[in-house]
Structure 1
Amino acid sequence: MATKEALGLIEKLKEKHGPLLFHQSGGCCDGSSPMCFPESDFIIGDSDVLLGKIGEVPFYMNKKQYEYWKHTQLIIDVVEGRGGMFSLEGPEGVRFLTRSKILPS
């Protein structure tokens, strides 16, 4: 799931960069934020899980991170400020942010 602001930014980035993908590694620092890359610039590995698509863009997460978040609804949002230095939204003065909400059991 993504906010209206996140979907708008995704469309803007697709126009500039072509096909995209998201990856959330689960590492520290920048790795805890969703990173947006040109689809051809990131190699998906055996330790990555496809969670679905947001704005027609695939969203992958590291398996270990998925184990922590598998009982939550993830909502991709946009906030002001700088995010990961390799993520495409950085020059826009904003960053993607993953919000989570625990799902009822």
Structure 2
Amino acid sequence: MDTRQVIATIPALQLIERLRTKHGALLFHQSGGCCDGSSPMCYPVGDFIVGDRDVKLGVIGGADFYISAAQFDYWKHTQLIIDVVPGRGGMFSLENGEGVRFLVRSRLFTDAEFACLRQAGRA
């Protein structure tokens, strides 16, 4: 049973590796819907300050992935699947200018998976 709260597709992992080669260590923050909509935003470590209430969902491609506490409360029943699609990345996200952008897909956890997350204190 895969109860990781965030995972990435192979194309997303490949893009993360390309960005790491160019920019060094990375982190992600799931945008709350302001300027760039609700998008996974990729930053060099140190360029984005993670808030005290932000929740670390996990690690994708070696990069920590965070989400705001309010969004986590809304999304806690789902597994976020980070993918890549053609298009322009978020204004402040590192994939901007690469001709592709990160995109969140999701699936609901099964009752059994969600029970495991609750038991582990993750939901």
TM-score (structure 1 length as normaliser):
0.95
Q: Contact 1:25/1:65 (CA < 8 Å) preserved in 2?
A: no
Q: Contact 1:71/1:102 (CA < 8 Å) preserved in 2?
A: yes
Where 2:36 maps in the other structure, the secondary structure is helix
Q: Shift of the alpha carbon at 1:40?
A: 1.2
- The runs of at least 4 consecutive aligned structure 1 residues that moved more than 4 Å come to none
Q: Does 1:94 align with 2:117?
A: no
Aligned partners of 1:29, 1:2: CA distance in 2, in Å?
Answer: 23
Can you give the 5+ residue segments of structure 1 that lack an aligned partner in the other structure?
Answer: none
Size of the aligned set, in residue pairs, is: 105
Specify the alignment match of 1:65 in structure 2: 71
Specify the alignment match of 1:75 in structure 2: 81
Can you give the 5+ residue segments of structure 2 that lack an aligned partner in the other structure?
Answer: 1-6, 112-123
Specify the alignment match of 2:17 in structure 1: 11
1:53-76: per-residue Cα shift (whole Å, max 9, x none)? Answer: 000100000110111110101100
1:36-62: per-residue Cα shift (whole Å, max 9, x none)? Answer: 000110111112111110001000001
1:2-56: per-residue Cα shift (whole Å, max 9, x none)? Answer: 0000000000000000000000132245140000000110111112111110001
Q: Contact 2:89/2:97 (CA < 8 Å) preserved in 1?
A: no
TM-score (structure 2 length as normaliser):
0.82
Amino acid paired to 1:34: P
Give the number of the structure whose alpha-carbon radius of gyration is greater.
Answer: 2
Specify the alignment match of 1:41 in structure 2: 47
Where 2:104 maps in the other structure, the secondary structure is strand
Identity %: 69
Amino acid paired to 1:90: N
Aligned partners of 2:24, 2:67: CA distance in 1, in Å?
Answer: 21
